[in-house]
Amino acid sequence: MIKALRMGVAGAGHFGKYHAAKIVAAADAELVAVADTDPGVAQEVAAIHGVAGFTDVRDMLKEVDAVSVAVPTRAHFKVAKIFLEAGVHVLLEKPIADNLDDARRLIDIADSNNLTFQIGHLPRFSGAAEFLRQKLNNPLFIESLRIAPFKSRGTDVSVILDLMIHDLDFILSLINVPIVSIDASGAPVFSNSVDIANARVKFGNGCVANITSSRISLKTERQMRIFQADGYIAIDFDKRKTRMVAKKSAGPVVGFSDVDVQEESYEEIDELQREVESFIAATRDGTPPAVSGAEGLRALEAALAITNSLEGNWDMVDKADKLLWRI
């Protein structure tokens, strides 16, 4: 009988505590330790599950075969590197890192040590993802909206790396074609980083995605519309509802009677449980992870390109303002 995978959680705060619970619920893994720089948080989560609690992640190295890393983004590289260099398989929360050099370095270490290295892009495991894989047919235009109330947690990075990167990765996985151009705008509102952003992303096959993310809204809302040659698909991720609007025939559409509208609800899925279990399966079976380090790098490259476009537009505005003052 194959032993259960011994797992730990590095970063037992807001999201890490959920990782711990999902590992406990998984059939083929055993939670053996948690670590957090806050001693109170580490001991609280450890006590809930009856496991060891540490304040230094290095103390877990001899205890675990694999680990979920859910520390703040700025610490992703440092903490993931410790485990990968020690031969521990890693499930790393998104984004893979906050810069491309660190992301590539983590991938190299994982590959050199023949380790499973999965990035936690949660929407990939949603019921919506399953639905879309069955319904998509050469998307032409995508409209994505993700808004949420302000929380100080996560503001160590911009909304692009905090929220928009989820939708970037999701869209990249659906289109799977290189990006050819990006035009972005945004602004910091409640923090020192960009809190609201919009990006127009054009792909090599002609598809265009218009992506908006905000963390300064009064409500939470996640929606996406995908337009194809024969109609469009609308998804409400929060309500788990879909609407498909399609032509009834190949002829021209004259009025509403010429289109068919189908509304469905898709099954609620514990996305994090599925993500954790997919990582466990890939680690035990030696199969490629559902979201590889390379895919995490691809999403980060897109996110940073959006950031660069946004900052470039700021520079243009600044130069225009200075020019106007001279006139």
Do 65 and 133 fall into the same domain? no
- In tens digits, the chain (327 residues) has pLDDT values of 468 999 999 999 989 999 999 999 999 999 999 999 999 999 999 999 999 999 999 999 999 999 999 999 999 999 999 999 999 999 999 999 999 999 999 999 999 999 999 999 999 999 888 888 888 888 999 999 999 999 877 778 899 999 999 999 999 999 989 999 999 999 999 998 999 999 999 999 999 999 999 999 999 999 999 999 889 999 999 999 999 988 777 767 666 677 889 998 888 889 999 999 999 999 999 999 999 999 999 999 999 999 999 887 655 445 444 444 444
Check if the beta carbon of residue 28 is closer than 8 Å to that of residue 284: yes
Taking phi over 0 as left and psi of -120 to 50 as alpha, with beta for the rest, 252 belongs to: beta
pLDDT for 50 equals 98
Are the C-beta atoms of 181 and 202 separated by less than 8 Å? yes
- Domain count across the chain: 2
How high is the pLDDT of residue 322?
42
Residue 190 within a domain: yes
Pairing state between β 221-228 and 208-214: unpaired
pLDDT at 326: 45
CA distance 109 to 130: 32
Q: Which residue has the tokens 């300064």?
A: 216
| The pLDDT value given to residue 2 | 61
Residue 297 located in a structural domain: no
Query: Where do the H-state alpha helices sit in the chain?
Result: 16-25, 39-49, 76-85, 100-112, 127-135, 159, 165-175, 271-285, 293-326
DSSP 88-146: -EEEEESSS-SSHHHHHHHHHHHHHTT--EEEE-GGGGSHHHHHHHHH--S--EEEEEE
Please check whether residues 211 and 150 belong to one and the same domain.
yes
Q: Which domain holds residue 251?
A: 124-269
Domain at 187, CATH number: 3.30.360.10
Query: Would you say residue 324 lies in a domain?
Result: no
Quick one: pLDDT at residue 315? 53
> Do residues 102 and 227 both lie within one domain?
no
pLDDT of residue 314: 54
Distance, in Å, from the CA atom of 179 to the CA atom of 50, rounded to the nearest integer, reads 47
Q: Are 106 and 129 found together in one domain? A: no
Whether 316 is in a domain gets the answer no
Domain with residue 11: its CATH number is 3.40.50.720
Q: Domain check: are 57 and 128 in the same one? A: no
Whether 158 is covered by a domain: the verdict is yes
128 and 102 co-located in one domain: no
Q: How far is the CA of 69 from the CAs of 75, 296, 298, in angstroms?
A: 10, 14, 20
